[in-house]
Amino acid sequence: MNEVKVLTTDITIPDTAVIKPIIMRVMVAYNDAASDNGSCTTLDSGEFEDYTIVVKTASANETENALLYFLNSLSEVFLNDGNIVNRSVEVSTYKDAKFAKATSTLEEGTDFRFSNLPEGITPVITINSNQSASLVFTGAATHHELANNTSATLTWLNPAVEWGTNAIKTATQDFDFDFIDAYKILTTPPHKLKIVIISLYLT
């Protein structure tokens, strides 16, 4: 009969942790020296398992109702066309905070508003349940050079939150939009060929 053992340990989240879903690889090795070679080695006896974990912002303490965002930094795609790589942001409730509707697509200006959003980007917020929502930034930024980097602010309005926005710690959240300069083709002038003609006069 196989014996089941439970390992309990604490994991310290570093201050440099990125606020987004990441992959955590767990390795179990039996008397295998190869386990010292890192998470991509080959084991004679053991296994690897990958788990998706989500690092959340610590904006809420244990006594306050709040909305938590899985990420707040958005980057332009490598093609430099104004589209966003990570355009979808999951929003979850914390403690007793709840969305006022169980399922719905919220209306900008009625349920929420955005300020300083890049031109060409449109936010769509869909309520999945009264404890979960998806914020998707659709479209592409019209101006998307490095100089156009900006921080946009989402403000929740009373109809979106059960008991109104006074029931949560903060009704606003900033999102950083990071763009890259367009790639340029650098050319150099052709080398000038200098021809020197030497005339010899024989006498």
| H-helix or E-strand spanning residue 137 | strand 132-139
Overall pTM > 0.75: no
CA distance 6 to 33: 23
Which amino acid, 54? V
- Which two three-digit tokens encode residue 93? 């409730």
CA-to-CA distance for 51 and 59, rounded, in angstroms? 24
Separation between Cα atoms, residue 188 and residue 101, nearest integer Å: 61
Q: Which of 42, 7, 9, 45 is nearest to 29 (CA)?
A: 45
Cβ atoms of 45 and 150 within 8 Å: the answer is no
pLDDT (tens place) for every residue of the chain, 203 residues total: 567 677 777 878 777 776 666 777 888 777 666 666 677 777 777 787 887 776 666 554 445 889 999 888 899 988 899 999 888 999 999 888 999 988 899 999 999 999 999 999 999 999 999 999 999 999 999 999 999 999 999 999 999 999 999 999 899 999 999 999 887 776 666 655 555 555 555 54
Domains, the chain, in order of start with CATH, read 21-54 (no CATH), 66-178 (2.60.40)
Specify the pLDDT at position 37.
67
Q: Residue 109 has what pLDDT?
A: 96
Q: Which of 94, 91, 87, 97 is nearest to 70 (CA)?
A: 91
